[in-house]
Amino acid sequence: MEFLTQNVFWIVIALVSGGMLLAPMFRGGGRFGVSPAQAVTLINREDAAVIDVREAAEFERGHLPNARHIPLGELENRAGELNKLKNKPVIVVCQSGNRSGGARATLAKLGFERAVNLDGGIDAWAQASQPLVKGRK
């Protein structure tokens, strides 16, 4: 007990640091999330597919190049269209990373073991000065 009272400051620092390290896992990131830079690497090196789960109007305002548009509400019904991608990295995208986190989990349950969420979504992608394509593909 004496140790705790004499080292309260260091214990608090250790707990806060640990919490900061774990925070991405609770925001949908962590091992199933990738940054825009990591997404670019997956696309360029491993020919990752990009699935945009936003609504049509959002998709038309700007999406990643070569992104396939499957709105979140249609994902389970249209997952068969993606079967040939099961062994490839699949990057799931929405506006901020929340909807795509759930979509990534859905794809994982359907056997897409390499599906990842773009942390921060289109917002983070644009903030990282990555290209966006406007209109329908």
Tell the burial category of 41 from Cβ atoms under 10 Å away from its Cβ (0-12, 13-18, 19+).
middle
Instruction: Look up tokens 């070569």; give the residue.
Output: 66
94 is annotated as an active-site residue: yes
Residues 74 and 99: beta-carbon distance below 8 Å? no
Helices (H), the chain: 2-6, 8-26, 36-46, 56-61, 75-78, 98-109, 121-127
Nearest C-alpha neighbor of 50 from the set 34, 36, 66, 62: 66
53, 64, 85, 94: which one is catalytic? 94
- In this structure, are strands 115-118 and 33-34 parallel, antiparallel, or unpaired? parallel
Point out the residues that are catalytic: 94
